[in-house]
Amino acid sequence: MPREDVLEGKVALVTGASRGIGYAIARRLGRMGARVSICGRDQARLEQSAAAMRGEGISTLAVPTDLTRADQISTLVQMTEQEFGPIDILVNNAGTGVFGPFHEFGETEWNTVVDTNLKSVFLLCRAVAPEMMSRQTGHIINISSLAGKNTFAKGAIYCASKWGLMGLTGCMAEELRAYGIRVSAICPGSVATEFPGQGGKNASKILQPDDIAHAVAALVTQAEGSFISEVHIRPTRKP
């Protein structure tokens, strides 16, 4: 895909971007001209992804980060701003899940999923929003899930985190729209990644990471004066 440069001069931060959906989003934004900061826990894989993006001519910063820790989030934001400048686009993509009867899980599983899928978004948005508010511009895109709209057996903790994320996203959108900041949620169905719970699904009949990246590209190029608050993405044919 050729470079489009419609985001020339913009700075994007994408979480969980060492692979899968996050990598596809970061790469797409970079091909659109943005300077991209990516984070993940696996330093080796993160650096590999960053090297691949740099090989395409994308200005890329890789910062190993545990997003459940406020101190590491502060470091991530500071390093991004020092390297590239104020953040224009924040994509909260990092996520995890556990699946099974709710009563068989303990506090450890609950905390891991909710802290990753919900708390980290709150912490990152809290860190980035004041600068966006002062500049009266910005995009915040939260990668949620159709599990944030629908319930299903053996998905209690994951669904709880994503339903919470939808509530957080909606409230932030209402608070920040007066500052010219657009906050949106993207809710995909199953995507062909290494995410837990995808086993046994035909990868050719479910969504691909680039499908989500395409939606992000559409949101960040939306004409001024309006914003798309929520996007649902499903495969054309049911798996």
- pLDDT number for residue 136: 97
Q: What is the pLDDT of residue 155?
A: 97
Q: What is the pLDDT of residue 154?
A: 97
The highest-level CATH class for domain 11-233 is alpha beta
What is the pLDDT, as a whole number, of residue 143? 98
Q: What is d(CA 213, CA 29) in angstroms, rounded to the nearest whole number?
A: 8
- Of 23, 84, 158, 163, the active-site residue reads 158
d(CA 191, CA 55): 26
pTM of the model: 0.94
CA dihedral 184, 187, 193, 196 (to 10 degrees): 110
**pLDDT for 224:** 86
* SS3 assignment, position 161: helix
Active site (annotated) includes residue 179: no
Tell me if 61 sits within 8 A of 77, measured CB to CB.
Answer: no
User: Can you tell me the distance from the alpha carbon of 212 to that of 27, in angstroms, rounded to the nearest whole number?
Assistant: 12
CB count within 10 Å of CB 167 equals 12
Sign of CA dihedral 131, 133, 134, 139: positive
Low-confidence residues in the chain, pLDDT < 70: 1-3, 196-201
Domain assignments of the chain as residue spans, ordered by start:
11-233
